[in-house]
Amino acid sequence: MMALLPENAPFSPPQRAWLNGFFAGLMGLEQTSDGTPAAAAPVEEEIDTPWHDPAMALAERMKLAEGKPVKWQLMAAMGQLDCGQCGYLCEPYAAQIASGAEKDLNKCVPGGKATAKTIRLLLEKSPPPASAGQTPALERPTGQNAAESRASAGVSRDRPAKAKLLAATALNAGETDKPVNNIALSLAGTGIRYQPGDSLGVWPANNPDEVELILSILKTKGSKSITLHGAAANARDALTRRVNLREPTAELFALMADHAHLEFESVRLAMLAQNDELVADYGIHDVFDVLVKFRSARPPIGPFLNALAPLQPRLYSIASSLRAHPDEVHLTVGVVRYDLNGRGYHGVASNFFAEHLAEGRRVPVYIQPAHGFALPADSSKPVIMVGPGTGIAPFRAFLEERAAAGATGKNWLFFGAQHEAGDFLYRDQLETLVRDGQLTRLSTAFSRDQAQKIYVQHRMIEHAAGIWAWLNEGAYFYVCGDAKRMAADVDAALKEIVSEQGRMDAAAAAAFVKQLAKDGRYCRDVY
Ligand SMILES: Cc1cc2nc3c(=O)[nH]c(=O)nc-3n(C[C@H](O)[C@H](O)[C@H](O)COP(=O)(O)OP(=O)(O)OC[C@H]3O[C@@H](n4cnc5c(N)ncnc54)[C@H](O)[C@@H]3O)c2cc1C
Ligand SMILES: NC(=O)c1ccc[n+]([C@@H]2O[C@H](COP(=O)([O-])OP(=O)(O)OC[C@H]3O[C@@H](n4cnc5c(N)ncnc54)[C@H](OP(=O)(O)O)[C@@H]3O)[C@@H](O)[C@H]2O)c1
């Protein structure tokens, strides 16, 4: 007999038995009566997952998974970041949904509504087995054993520790369209340790002004006791820490339809509950909009809260090294603010840090360990880092770590931002590192300081020979930041450099880059 789960995986005996059985089923292993798999030859062939690329569009990913068993199609629908925000990696989340053990289809934060919708459509065609409801509730089914060992003292997504805000410092100088803050948190007393490359999971609180407005619209006292998904809470606390006020659910529209006094509002709300494609057409972007647009619908606070999706944690690439900042963690947080439908919207977590968390107050956090995004074990190896915008975060951590550890390997950073004057994040620190010889090369691309756009990949092409030489010396190549456009463009530039400098055709260059990734020398942390 063999157990598939490691001994220290955080599950109760019934969960362990069920999980061993579940994974055995997936792998084609025989099961014994207690759910422990007996050794047998796996029958499911090892599958390549070419859609597991966060820079690839959803439609393209779904095409690649077409015709495969539903688990793989579900996986292709995920954000492909393996970020752990949902409590799983992409593949186990897909497996849990396919088996019916996981009912919440909205957990993939990076994939957002498009992912949730694709999953719903796939399940309409291939529903989970009817027996699925009998599986035990799983806290955190897989993928985070490393989290357990690193985030010591049992700190995890579901058992976060409280970190204290030391300072939120603007990283911009003067005018900017892209405000970014360095958030310094104290980890003293939490037992949390991390490695450069890891991310910090943060459980933010919703905007307190919005919470008070919703309470007053629903004519409810904040102290009112309610039951939210079986647990007791008061209304203000539940609105602040437990529910997602950004994305209205079909359940909310249906509830509002039931409570609307005006017939036409009720009909419209019922339509929105059926078809989420109409939601944006009605100028609805968040939960508050629903209350403002449909004034005759005022459900009681308890059902209202239970109709909302749960608040999810946000991840931030760690921007500090413990060697340089003992007992601290720093983040590089871009403040999300935008106008739509004649209204201003604020991102929850970035504005929580920027506006609502006072110095000295605490926030629940945990470590999300990186999957293959770490400094080379051999510190004499050169590293090339491409991190425009907030993508610089992990590279500040890398540089601090290498400097503090006395690493001999060369470091080359490509940084991009809109304007040199306002958006050169960590400028003083980077220039000092250059002067001290710790940062061997710093190449900047300020996109809007001249008539034509200049991006990091343009600088890479200008320095093609240098990049090729460093790669031949064994350099590791890292990319962090925008997944949708930048990561794909940088990938194309890297292949172009390999092709030109290495005198290879496109296919050989692509194979070379694929091999770099397989060897752990091409690593991406994109979002
Ligand atoms: C692995 C990982 C690492 C990350 N590292 C960092 C980091 O180092 N620094 C950093 O700043 N962020 C980072 N992020 C992103 C971060 O997790 C949050 O997503 C980000 O801060 C926004 O969160 P929020 O709560 O402020 O905004 P939310 O309340 O989540 O709002 C953001 C949502 O608003 C919507 N939106 C945003 N802009 C517009 C617009 N113009 N029009 C319409 N809708 C819009 C989108 O649906 C978007 O998803 C990372 C993400 C991942 C997965
Ligand atoms: N999920 C979220 O809600 C959330 C929140 C915050 C950030 N993010 C993402 O995090 C990433 C970083 O955001 P950021 O605001 O710090 O920086 P950013 O938007 O990536 O901008 C940084 C620099 O990159 C440039 N750039 C734009 N397109 C590019 C491309 N295709 N290739 C290379 N460079 C490109 C920008 O130029 P121009 O602007 O002049 O074109 C700017 O000079 C972005 O993807 C952003 O979408 C997501």
3-state SS track over 154-174: CCCCCCCEEEEEEEEEECCCC
State the closest ligand 2 atom to the C-alpha of 483, by its place in the atom list counted from 1: 45
State the closest ligand 2 atom to the C-alpha of 445, by its place in the atom list counted from 1: 43
Candidates 169, 478, 179, 527; CA nearest to 328 is 169
Ligand 2, atom 46, residue with closest C-alpha: 482
Instruction: Indicate whether residue 183 lines ligand 1 (CB < 6 A).
Output: no
Instruction: Indicate whether residue 239 lines ligand 1 (CB < 6 A).
Output: no
E strand intervals along 347-465: 362-368, 383-386, 411-417, 441-446
DSSP string, 403-416: HHHT--S-EEEEEE
Burial of 378 (0-12, 13-18, 19+ CB in 10 A): exposed
Taking the C-alpha atoms of residue 153 and residue 135, their distance in angstroms, rounded to an integer, is: 29
Indicate the helix (H) or strand (E) that contains 468. helix 464-472
Instruction: Indicate whether residue 340 lines ligand 1 (CB < 6 A).
Output: yes
Ligand 2, atom 31, residue with closest C-alpha: 486
Considering every ligand atom shown, identify the ligand nearest to the alpha carbon of residue 341 and give its number: 1
Handedness of CA 244, 197, 55, 450 (dihedral sign): positive
Considering every ligand atom shown, identify the ligand nearest to the alpha carbon of residue 54 and give its number: 1
Per DSSP, the three-state class of 473 is: coil
**Residue type present at position 111:** G
State the closest ligand 1 atom to the C-alpha of 335, by its place in the atom list counted from 1: 26
Rounded to whole angstroms, the maximal C-alpha distance in the chain is 72
Considering every ligand atom shown, identify the ligand nearest to the alpha carbon of residue 481 and give its number: 2
Pocket test of ligand 1: the residue of 200, 243, 329, 350 to mutate, having most ligand atoms within 8 Å of its CB, is: 350
Q: CA–CA distance from 84 to each of 54, 81, 93, 193 (Å)? A: 14, 8, 10, 18
Q: How many A from CA of 389 to the centre of ligand 2?
A: 6
The pLDDT assigned to 12 comes to 54
Candidates 49, 27, 22; CA nearest to 39 is 27
The pLDDT assigned to 113 comes to 83
Angle at 331 between CA 325 and CA 333, to 5 degrees: 155
State the closest ligand 2 atom to the C-alpha of 418, by its place in the atom list counted from 1: 43
Ligand 2, atom 9, residue with closest C-alpha: 482
Query: Which residues, 6+ apart, have CB-to-CB distance to 410 below 8 Å?
Result: 382, 383, 440, 441, 470, 475
Taking the C-alpha atoms of residue 315 and residue 105, their distance in angstroms, rounded to an integer, is: 19
Query: Which residues, 6+ apart, have CB-to-CB distance to 461 below 8 Å?
Result: 493, 496, 497
> For the chain, what is the radius of gyration of the CA atoms?
24
Taking the C-alpha atoms of residue 416 and residue 431, their distance in angstroms, rounded to an integer, is: 15
Query: Which residues are registered as beta bridge partners of 318?
Result: 331
The pLDDT assigned to 310 comes to 93
> What are the pocket residues of ligand 2 if the criterion is a CB atom closer than 6 Å to any ligand atom?
178, 334, 336, 347, 388-391, 416-418, 447-448, 453, 455-457, 481-482, 485-486, 489, 527
Pocket test of ligand 1: the residue of 177, 336, 373, 480 to mutate, having most ligand atoms within 8 Å of its CB, is: 336
Taking the C-alpha atoms of residue 297 and residue 270, their distance in angstroms, rounded to an integer, is: 12
Per-residue pLDDT of the chain (527 residues; tens, 9 = 90+): 345 555 555 555 555 555 655 555 555 444 433 444 444 434 455 678 999 988 889 999 999 999 999 999 999 999 998 888 888 899 999 999 999 999 888 888 888 889 999 999 999 999 998 765 544 444 443 344 444 445 556 899 999 999 999 999 999 998 899 999 999 999 999 999 999 999 999 999 999 999 999 999 999 999 999 999 999 999 999 999 999 999 999 999 999 999 999 999 999 999 999 998 899 999 999 999 999 999 999 999 999 999 999 999 999 999 999 999 999 999 999 999 999 989 999 999 999 999 999 999 999 999 999 988 999 999 999 999 999 999 999 999 999 999 999 999 999 999 999 999 999 999 999 999 999 999 999 999 999 999 999 999 999 999 999 999 999 999 999 999 999 899 999 999 999 999 999 999 999 999 999 999 999 999 999 98
Burial of 263 (0-12, 13-18, 19+ CB in 10 A): exposed
Query: DSSP secondary-structure letter at 357?
Result: -
Q: CA–CA distance from 249 to each of 41, 86, 87, 207, 252 (Å)? A: 44, 17, 21, 19, 5
Residue ranges of the alpha helices (H) in 220-357?
Answer: 235-241, 250-259, 263-274, 287-293, 301-306, 348-351
The answer to whether the CB of 65 falls within 8 A of the CB of 31 is no
**Residue type present at position 232:** A
